[in-house]
Structure 1
Amino acid sequence: MRLSAFRPARFLAATLALTVAAAGCSRADRNDTQAAAATGKGPATELRLGYFPNVTHAAALVGLGKDLFSKELGSTKLVPTKFNAGPEAVGALLGGSLDASFIGSGPAINAYAKSNGEAVRLIAGATSGGAQLVVKPTISKPADLIGKTVVTPQLGNTQDVSLKKWLAEKNLTGKVKVTNLENAQTLDAFKKGDVDAAWLPEPWSSRLVLDAGAKVLLDEASLWPGGKFPTTVLIVRTQFLQEHPETVKALLTGLVAAIDFSNSNTADAKTVVNDQLKQATGKALKPAVIDRAFEHIQITADPIAATFPQLAKDQVTAGIAKTAPAVAGFADLGPLNEVLGKAGKPAVDAAGLDAK
């Protein structure tokens, strides 16, 4: 009688012990999994990095030309990929064939918006300034553009948004023909008289001025407080950032080194950039062109995050989007600020762009 009474009790106790042990193992397993996720998968085998053959991508070009990225990446193979404009790079990022890219602010916002804030993160700046509306000498005011053809590099790219926003504010929407051409084609078309104006990044605005007789109607810097706006930033696939945080920090360390080199050794930086442009396009810039282009840019790791809400609204004004793309949560500047801190440099401000 006593035995039969105790057996269920002992069985229950054993069952409870097993349950507790199993629960403990389960919690340990979960903690191990979370810890592994937090530390990532170690260095990436390769890093596929996008860039454009423009002076506004000087930091990228210096990083490539001086092997500053490769030096920091160590065993991770760097695979640079050239693009003409932002929307192409966005397609590659969202398609998973690119890991990170130097890119204009407009397409960067679009990449974030198209993926509902999931696919990419803004991790650094690269260049402020360096975009101008250049025109035929006979055009002296905005109204002179009525009935004329104005070119931007690609539909929806940074300069395309800037132009269309400006036209809207001048009540010129629908009164000016806006078309898109690759930058080299724009130069040829301007020389032939097929286009009347173009809103372009450096060095192409300088090339039209110095090689094709254009004049500056508007420097985009005049439209922003302090003349600062993000022409080029660095974004990365969120998954890549989560899986390979140390690789991303290595890339950012190389970027900071490239920026330091560019700002401390401007003459040498121009040479490196010109060499990289020659490799990418088959032709180097004239000294006067690259000198002028460098005068209109500021090479900086600060993405000027505070401008992004306005940049998102500009897409609506430009007629590119019906509603302003959400940018809350877009920035993850923690890795950059860690790199800057180790280098004894001040942190950059996320301006609330790091919180949803």
Structure 2
Amino acid sequence: MKRRNLKISILVLIVLSLLIITSIGTGAAASELKEITIGYFPNITHAPAIVGVSESIFVDQLNGIKVKTKIFPNGSLFMDALATNQIDLGYVGPGPAINRYLQGADVKALASASTGGTVLVTRSDFEYNSVTDLNDKIIATPALGCTHDLLFRQLIKDHNLNTNRRGGSIDHRAQKPATMVGLFATNQLDAAVVSEPWAARMEADLSSKVVVDWDQMPWDGKLPAAVVVSTIQFIDNNPDLINNFLQAHQKTVEYINNNPIQSSKIIQKQIKEITRQELSIEIIERSMQRTNITSELNSSVVQKLADLSAELGFIKGDSDLNGFIDISYLNRVSQ
């Protein structure tokens, strides 16, 4: 009997030793992190990422950790990269992050990067007085169920209108912004909901009119245009790094707001290097005027977006975002 108890005691000690070794190994892996990869888009609404990387604000704040970057054309590919550890954290529109979270993905939003940046623009000869003038007209959004599309749906819902997809008389079409330009020019499109810099480009090239500005859009323009996200596992394993990253993010937000002219030049240069397309400084500056660069993340507005997406059938099942947003790290660095 004593020999059996001794064997059990030895087995328990072995298990405990393995657990201790495993926990020490995990801690070492987190503390010995040598580099991180940040994902973002070459968009105006991702300005904190563009400026923070260009001006080495992230590098300076991350205490010698190497910073790599990965550029994405859309939120779906970004979320795929986050899920497969190709990136550690980064900037993405709220829609893709919400959808993946509600599907069970390991993702958490830590801060906003910008709000606004999305407007309703019409063809130059469109006689517009109010949202009700959109009835019986052809309206485009970049994709069905994207953030811009949901803003459009809420905008017309607030005025008791609906699309032909849901029994209304607005001819609603999904078109890429580059395609919208040609459709405006040939009078095949009456209006569109787009993000910057597309609206500013349409104004400059086609004399299009912004008839509902960013702060007149649903929820008073408080909906995040881009959020900072990472996985729960990465956050939990690297709390100090997350604090430092958000400090860099906050410093970049303040830099952009305090230096709008210089920031516009930085963004212009970086977008050209990434996309091989040069936007005039006038378009960049006008786009920045319609984009509120902020780290403040309004959870109630984000929840309203998720609820609308579920109501329209883009989200299946529960739209409760409890656990998706964690601003505790942001609150620490903002004190």
Same fold (TM over 0.5): yes
Q: 1:26 to 1:56 in 2, by over 3 A?
A: same
Counterpart of 2:288? 294
Give me the TM-score of the superposition, normalised by structure 1: 0.80
Instruction: Identify which of 236, 254, 261 aligns with 1:260.
Output: 254
Instruction: Identify which of 184, 189, 213 aligns with 1:190.
Output: 184
Equivalent residues of 2:99, 2:315 under 8 A apart: no
Q: 1:159 to 1:324 in 2, by over 3 A?
A: farther
One-letter code aligned to 2:319: P
Instruction: Identify which of 217, 221, 232 aligns with 2:226.
Output: 232
* Mean CA deviation greater in 218-227 or 45-54: 218-227
Counterpart of 1:303? 297
Equivalent residues of 1:101, 1:236 under 8 A apart: yes
In the alignment, the residues of structure 1 paired with residue 25 and residue 326 of structure 2 have an alpha-carbon distance, to the nearest angstrom, of 20
* 1:132 maps to 2:155: no
The CA deviation at 1:233 is 0.6
* 1:66 maps to 2:55: yes
Counterpart of 1:4? none
Q: How is 1:201-350 mapped onto 2 (pairs within 5 angstroms)?
A: 201-223=195-217, 227-338=221-332, 340=333, 345-346=334-335
Equivalent residues of 1:134, 1:217 under 8 A apart: yes
The CA deviation at 1:261 is 1.1
Give me the TM-score of the superposition, normalised by structure 2: 0.85
RMSD across aligned C-alpha pairs, in angstroms? 2.8
Per-residue CA deviation, residues 168-227 of structure 1 (Å, 9 max, x unaligned), is: 443222133333343334334433433322211122222222332111232342245564
The CA deviation at 1:297 is 2.0
In the alignment, the residues of structure 1 paired with residue 68 and residue 101 of structure 2 have an alpha-carbon distance, to the nearest angstrom, of 23
Q: 1:194 to 1:80 in 2, by over 3 A?
A: farther
Per-residue CA deviation, residues 236-257 of structure 1 (Å, 9 max, x unaligned), is: 1233333444443343232122
Percent identity over the alignment is 26
In the alignment, the residues of structure 2 paired with residue 317 and residue 139 of structure 1 have an alpha-carbon distance, to the nearest angstrom, of 31
One-letter code aligned to 2:194: L
Q: 1:36 to 1:125 in 2, by over 3 A?
A: farther
In the alignment, the residues of structure 2 paired with residue 43 and residue 335 of structure 1 have an alpha-carbon distance, to the nearest angstrom, of 21
One-letter code aligned to 1:136: R
In the alignment, the residues of structure 2 paired with residue 249 and residue 192 of structure 1 have an alpha-carbon distance, to the nearest angstrom, of 50
Equivalent residues of 1:56, 1:231 under 8 A apart: yes
Per-residue CA deviation, residues 131-167 of structure 1 (Å, 9 max, x unaligned), is: 1011124141334334433222333321122123333
1:164 is paired with a residue whose SS is helix
Per-residue CA deviation, residues 75-118 of structure 1 (Å, 9 max, x unaligned), is: 5443322233323322333344333231111222112112x2x4
In the alignment, the residues of structure 2 paired with residue 34 and residue 44 of structure 1 have an alpha-carbon distance, to the nearest angstrom, of 16
Q: 1:237 to 1:172 in 2, by over 3 A?
A: same
In the alignment, the residues of structure 2 paired with residue 220 and residue 280 of structure 1 have an alpha-carbon distance, to the nearest angstrom, of 26
Point out the structure with max Rg over C-alpha.
1
One-letter code aligned to 2:137: K
In the alignment, the residues of structure 1 paired with residue 117 and residue 186 of structure 2 have an alpha-carbon distance, to the nearest angstrom, of 25
One-letter code aligned to 1:120: V
Q: 1:95 to 1:27 in 2, by over 3 A?
A: closer
2:120 is paired with a residue whose SS is strand
The CA deviation at 1:330 is 0.7
Instruction: Identify which of 134, 138, 145 aligns with 1:145.
Output: 134
Counterpart of 2:163? 173
One-letter code aligned to 2:12: A
In the alignment, the residues of structure 2 paired with residue 337 and residue 39 of structure 1 have an alpha-carbon distance, to the nearest angstrom, of 27
Q: 1:327 to 1:91 in 2, by over 3 A?
A: same
Equivalent residues of 1:92, 1:98 under 8 A apart: yes
Unaligned runs of 5+ in 1: 1-10, 347-356
